[in-house]
C-alpha cells in the first residue's frame, strides 16, 4: 500500500508530498522517503490495520503543535476464499464470493461434485483428498497467509477434523465450520481428547458458522456465511453465531479449572 503526506505543518512541513510503500506482511518493506520521526512506528501500525481492513483512510497526527495528514491507499491482492466441500451450500457461496471480488477455490474428494460445471464462477475447482489438497494450495509456503479465508462445509466431521488439523495454526483471516451444535461439539471434543489440542486454539473457529439472519435455504445460508466473512474482514459490528458457543466453552473451561483448584 502507498502512504502519502497530503498535509504537513511545523516539524513535518518538509514531509509534504512524500510517500512510503508498505508490504502486505508486517515487517515487509517499508520503502520511501516519508518519515514521521518518533511517530513512525504508529504510522506503520496504522498502515497494517488499513491493510487488514482493506480500506483507504486519511489520518492526521499531531505533536508539538505540528500536524501531519497521511492518506493510506490500499492496493491489496484479492482475498482468497477456500471452500472445503462442494455440496449444496458451496455452490451459491462460491458465486456470491466471486461477486464480492474474492478469488475462489473449491475442493472436494468427490470428482462428481468438484467439477467446473457445478462451479462456473470459481477460479479453480479441485478434486482430491482434503488435507493433501490444502497442502498443495499453499504453493510451497509453510502456512496460508492473512489474505486467506477458509470455509469448511464438508459432508462429515472426519473431513472437518482433517482440514482443521491442517490449517488451525495458520495466520489466516478466517476459519468457519458449518454444523449443528452437536456436531461442532463432537469435532472439538475429539480434537481436544485424541489430538491433545489446547481448547483455546479452537476458539478462533467460527462455528456455528455465519451471522444469525434466520437463514434456511442453501442460498440463504451462503449469504449468512459471506456476511460473516465480510464482517470479519471489514471489522464490522455484527455478532456471529459462534459467540454464544465460544462463551459457553470458555465458561466450561473456567468451571473445570475452578473445580481442580488450578
DSSP code per residue over the chain: -EEEEEEE-GGGGGGTT-EEE--SSTTS--EES---GGGHHHHHHHHHHHHHHT--EEEEEEETTEEEEEEEE--PPPPEEEEE--STTHHHHHHHHHHTT-EEEEEES-TTTS-TTT-TT-SEEEES-HHHHHHHHTTT-SS--TTEEEEE--SSHHHHHHHHHHHTTS--SEEEE---HHHHHHHHHHHHHHS---GGGGGGSB-S-SB-S---SHHHHHHHHHHHHHHHHHT--PPBTHHHHHHHHHHHHHHHHHHHT-
Q: State which residues form the domain around 176.
A: 80-257
241 assigned to some structural domain:
yes
pLDDT at res. 24: 62
9 assigned to some structural domain:
yes
Does one domain contain both 178 and 233? yes
Which of the listed residues 73, 89, 117 is the one where a domain comes to its end?
A: 73
190 assigned to some structural domain:
yes
Does one domain contain both 52 and 32? yes
Does one domain contain both 200 and 243? yes
262 assigned to some structural domain:
no
pLDDT at res. 29: 60
Does one domain contain both 238 and 134? yes
Does one domain contain both 6 and 119? no
Number of domains in the chain: 2
Does one domain contain both 63 and 85? no
Q: Is this prediction's pTM over 0.85?
A: no
pLDDT at res. 260: 61
Does one domain contain both 99 and 166? yes
Q: What is the pLDDT along the chain (262 residues), one digit of tens a residue?
A: 899 999 999 999 999 999 999 876 544 567 889 999 989 999 989 988 888 777 889 999 998 899 999 999 988 789 999 999 999 999 999 999 999 999 999 999 999 999 999 999 999 999 999 999 999 999 888 899 989 999 999 998 889 899 999 999 999 999 999 988 888 888 898 899 988 998 888 989 999 999 999 999 999 999 999 999 999 998 899 988 888 666 776 776 666 666 666 5
31 assigned to some structural domain:
yes
Does one domain contain both 42 and 99? no
Does one domain contain both 63 and 103? no
Does one domain contain both 184 and 139? yes
pLDDT at res. 54: 78
Does one domain contain both 29 and 147? no
Which of the listed residues 54, 73, 92 is the one where a domain comes to its end?
A: 73
24 assigned to some structural domain:
yes
Which of the listed residues 73, 89, 123 is the one where a domain comes to its end?
A: 73
Does one domain contain both 136 and 219? yes
pLDDT at res. 176: 96
pLDDT at res. 87: 94
Q: What is the CATH classification number for the domain harbouring 168?
A: 3.40.50.720
Amino acid at each position: 500500500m502507498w502512504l502519502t503526506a497530503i498535509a504537513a505543518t511545523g516539524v513535518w512541513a518538509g514531509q509534504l508530498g512524500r510517500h512510503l510503500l508498505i508490504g502486505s506482511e508486517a515487517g515487509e518493506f517499508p520503502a520511501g522517503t516519508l518519515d514521521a520521526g518518533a511517530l513512525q512506528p504508529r504510522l506503520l501500525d496504522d498502515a497494517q490495520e488499513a491493510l487488514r481492513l482493506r480500506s483507504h483512510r486519511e489520518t492526521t497526527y499531531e505533536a508539538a503543535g505540528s500536524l501531519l495528514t497521511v492518506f493510506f491507499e490500499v492496493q491489496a491482492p484479492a482475498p482468497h476464499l477456500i471452500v472445503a466441500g462442494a455440496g449444496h451450500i458451496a455452490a451459491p457461496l462460491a458465486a456470491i464470493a466471486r461477486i464480492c471480488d474474492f478469488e475462489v477455490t473449491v475442493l472436494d474428494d468427490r470428482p462428481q461434485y468438484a467439477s467446473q460445471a457445478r462451479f462456473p464462477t470459481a477460479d479453480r475447482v479441485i478434486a482430491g483428498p482434503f488435507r493433501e489438497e490444502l497442502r498443495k494450495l499453499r504453493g510451497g509456503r509453510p502456512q496460508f497467509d492473512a489474505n486467506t479465508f477458509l470455509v469448511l462445509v464438508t459432508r462429515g466431521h472426519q473431513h472437518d477434523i482433517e482440514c482443521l488439523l491442517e490449517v488451525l495454526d495458520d495466520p489466516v483471516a478466517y476459519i468457519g465450520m458449518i454444523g449443528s451444535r452437536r456436531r461442532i461439539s463432537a469435532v472439538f471434543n475429539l480434537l481436544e481428547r485424541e489430538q491433545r489440542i489446547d481448547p483455546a486454539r479452537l476458539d478462533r473457529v467460527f462455528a456455528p458458522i455465519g451471522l444469525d439472519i434466520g437463514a434456511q435455504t442453501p442460498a440463504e445460508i451462503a449469504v449468512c456465511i459471506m456476511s460473516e466473512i465480510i464482517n470479519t474482514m471489514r471489522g464490522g459490528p455484527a455478532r456471529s453465531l459462534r459467540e454464544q458457543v465460544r462463551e459457553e466453552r470458555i465458561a466450561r473451561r473456567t468451571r473445570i479449572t475452578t473445580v481442580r483448584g488450578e
